[in-house]
Each structure stands twice: as C-alpha cells, then as structure tokens.
Amino acid sequence: MRNAFIRGLSALAESDDRVVLLTGDLGYKIFDDFARRFPGRFLNAGVAEANMIGVAAGMAMAGFRPFAYSITPFATLRCFEQIRNDVCYHELPVTIVGVGGGFSYGPNGPTHHALEDIGVMRTLPNLAVVCPGDPIEAELSVRAAGSQQMPVYLRLGRAGDPVVHRQAPEFRIGSAIVVREGSDCTLISTGGILSAVMDAAALLRDLSIDAAVVSMHTVKPLDGGFLERCSKQDRPVFTIEEHGLAGGLASAIGEWFVQRNMACRVEAIAVGDHFAHRSGSQNFLRMQEGLTPEQIAHRVAKTMEVSVC
C-alpha cells in the first residue's frame, strides 16, 4: 500500500500545487521521486511527530493541503494531543497517514503494532477515519482525502498487500464497497485484512455458505444506508478487522445500530484484549489471533451451525 499511496499522492500533487508531504524520518527511496518532482513540497520533520503535526496544521492554515506520514502508532498515539487540538479543533484539511496498520510491522513488536488506532482516532470530532482494503483502494483514498475540506486519518498497510479488486471501484469516503455478492451472510471487512476475508469467503463457498464480502473502508463516517439494508436482511453480519475489539469497526457498527434502535445480528472477529508477547510475521500474528482465512471461515461456519471438518 505504501507504493500505491505515493502514486496517488504524486498524481494529486501534479494537479494541486497546495499538496505537501511531511514525514517523521521515514520513506527513504519511496519518496525520492516525489521530492525530486515537487521541490519544496517534501519536508522531513525528523523523529518528532508531535512537531510534524503542528507544522502540518500551520501549513493548512496557510492554504496548503498537508499529508503527514509515519508508522501508525507514532502518527496517532504519539501526537494525539496535537491532532486533537491543532488539527481537529480547527477543522483543518490535514491528512494523517499511518503506515503499518494491524500487525504489518509484526517483527518489531508491540511498540509498532497498530491495534488501537481506529478506536482512538474515531473519538475525535471532525475527523474521518479511512482504512483502505487493498492497494487500489489505497491509491483512490489519497485522491478522496485530498478533496476533503476536513481532517482525515488514512490507515494503510505496509508492503506486499495483495490486490483484491480486478478493476478500480467507485471510491467515496463514507460509502462501502460490495466486493462480492452473497445470500447467506455478510462479511464486513476494514483495512488490509480484506484479502484474507475474500479467501475465507471462497472457503465458505466449499461449505455451501454464500458469503457477501464488503469493504467498509470508512469507519467514520459509516455507510448508514448499507447498514440499514443489513438490518432488514434475515442473515448474520460478521465484522473482521486487524484491530482490537474495543473501539474498532465492530464497536462503531454496534453503536450505530444501538443509537437507531435497529436490530441486526453482528458477530465480531477481531484481536483479543491483550498485547502480542510473541514476535513474528504479520501472518504468524494473524494466526495467533484467529485472523487467517481458514480461521475466519471456521468461525463463520460454526456460528452458522454448519459442519466443518
């Protein structure tokens, strides 16, 4: 997704000379071409993310469209106060870009795991929370964020994220994408776990379960029209996210239904309420948390009371 992000940002910068990129001492090689093509519009703030957000806010006040980029925990948790007070309070068009959602930086340990960021960021007024599901969505999300007049948090994967969409879908912040139609249940995914959810749907098909797959790339604001349709369908909804259960996609959807007094059976598949004390790859850590395609399919089938070998 990192390469898709810089492709989208370069295209946006080509058409809008207000676009600037700030980084917290990351992106060597990846950003070289951007810095060369757009001199004066690439700033390395160093390992000083709080200051980076303050600078981005000031640039936005001066008429620029800043994108502030760092590893997810450092782009969000380390500078939460500055995002809250400098960016969101003033409703500034700053896009905070967190790279490495979920276990993308698995071998680096819990300091680099991003399992709380969605919950933390969606508490902030005026801030959209966008978690693209594959590189195609990531590139489209940059353009969508650049057209907003309000702050956006953009949560990316890292490198090697599989492409899910065969062709570019229509992408609008706040509008879910139906990736696969299905009649028995609905799997709602957010972020880079989308490819695993698609693989799980293929496994469920072998068990005669026809699962729809939806990319809920925007956790705030949610696609209310889609959720209202879910409440009228007599089939279970499963939320799948590479994020802690508290505050993430499942929480957001559950709150949405409760606030509107709507009934819908929602089963949450997410990371447990603990830190990962074992180091390993993203796939290894997903397996520890029940987020592989096989584990997702098993959980869905068991909930729907279908026999699984």
Going along the chain from its start, the domains and CATH numbers come out as 2-156 (3.40.50.970), 177-303 (3.40.50.920)
* 11 CB burial (10 A radius; 0-12, 13-18, 19+): middle
Pairing of strands 128-130, 185-190: unpaired
Instruction: Give strand pairing partners of 238.
Output: 187, 267
pLDDT per position as a tens digit, 233-259: 989 999 999 999 999 999 999 999 999
Q: What is the pTM of this model?
A: 0.96
Cis before 151? omega within 30: no
pLDDT per position as a tens digit, 95-108: 999 999 999 999 99
pLDDT per position as a tens digit, 77-90: 999 999 999 999 99
pLDDT per position as a tens digit, 150-191: 999 999 998 789 999 999 999 999 999 999 999 999 999 999
